[in-house]
Amino acid sequence: MQPTPKPSGKVAVISGGSSGIGRAFVEKLHARGYIVITCGRDPAKLEKLAQDFPGVETGICDVSDTAAIRAFADDVVRRHPEIDMLISNAGGMRELDFTRDDITDQDPTEEIRSNLAGAIEWMAAFLPAVRRASPSAIVVVTSGYAMAASTRGPVYSAAKFGLRGFAKALRRQLAGHGVTVTEVLPPLVDTPAVAHRSGTKVSATSVAELALTAVANGKSEVHPGAVRWLPFGLRMAPSFIENVVAKS
């Protein structure tokens, strides 16, 4: 197999790149010769990432913090005024039980800030630079739970449903501007954060590879692993499939 041609000077910016799917994107794009910039909340993980992939630029940024996103974006765009690929990946799922009397003490809307509002702020902050690089691409990582909700993750599901809707609308808005929008809807991904969870898991590397292939082929959605059956299942037996996913 011939090595992948290196796209000299192309720039990719990734949120949540210190672990999981984000780290897999860093690895793949670094290998393809991109100038890779990423952020996270854990300095130790970011330092390790920079050691593993020399040349990758890292910074601290919490995507639930609008001011932090804008400061990070301003710094990146000042140095890289054109961004060829923007990846919105950061976020996480919490298990919340709304039958508990203390639910209001658990900051129940935190996942809306990190998984939805933060993702929208992230894309908005970088969009001028992405448009300047046209033809360019945006990758939005949502979840299989963006199509059918998880009982154990109600707010996470709500956030991902919202982000899926945003990705669809953004794709239409940018259609005439040379910017593609590819949504990635992974199932359970094999990362340390879900080591306690049972069930079939896909690798972060496979998700990133499928996503980048989809971008190259102009596809609007990627359904890794078992999620590939969801669109068909929800058409043929929606109640049954929603019940199965709800219990997963």
Q: DSSP states of 124-174 as a string?
A: HHHHHHHHHT-SEEEEEE--GGGTS--SS-HHHHHHHHHHHHHHHHHHHHT
Determine whether 156 is an active site residue.
yes
Q: Which of 156, 221, 222, 226 is catalytic?
A: 156
**Whether the Cβ atoms of residue 159 and residue 200 lie closer than 8 Å to each other:** no
Single-letter residue type at 28: K
Rounded distance between C-alpha atoms, residue 97 and residue 5, angstroms: 49
Rounded distance between C-alpha atoms, residue 126 and residue 58, angstroms: 16
Strand pairing report for 221-222 and 179-184: parallel
Rounded distance between C-alpha atoms, residue 150 and residue 69, angstroms: 28
CA-to-CA dists, residue 79 to 4, 107, 167, angstroms: 26, 36, 27
Beta bridge partners of 221: 183
Catalytic residues: 156
